[in-house]
Amino acid sequence: MFDWIHFLTYACMTAATPGPNNIMSMSNAGRLGFRKAVPFNFGIWVGFSVVMFLCALFCGTLSGFLPRLRRPMLVIGALYMLYLAWKTFTGASGIRTDNSRSGFLSGLLLQFVNPKIYVYGIVSMEAYILPVWQGAWRQLAGFALLLAFIGFVFTLCWALFGSVFRLLFSRYARITNTVMALLLVYCAVSLFF
CA 74 → CA 59, 77, 123, 175, 191, distances in Å? 11, 5, 6, 28, 7
Report if residue 62 sits inside a domain.
Answer: yes
pLDDT computed for residue 185 by the predictor = 81
Mean pLDDT over the full length of the chain: 82
| 36-49 pLDDT tens trace | 889 999 999 999 99
- Domain, as residue range, for 77: 4-8+56-93+115-190
38 in a domain, yes or no? no
Q: How many domains does the chain have?
A: 1
Domain membership flag for residue 166: yes
> Does residue 183 lie in a domain region?
yes
Domain assignment present for 142? yes
Q: Is residue 148 part of a domain?
A: yes
Q: What's the pTM?
A: 0.74
- Residue 140 lies inside a defined structural domain of this protein: yes
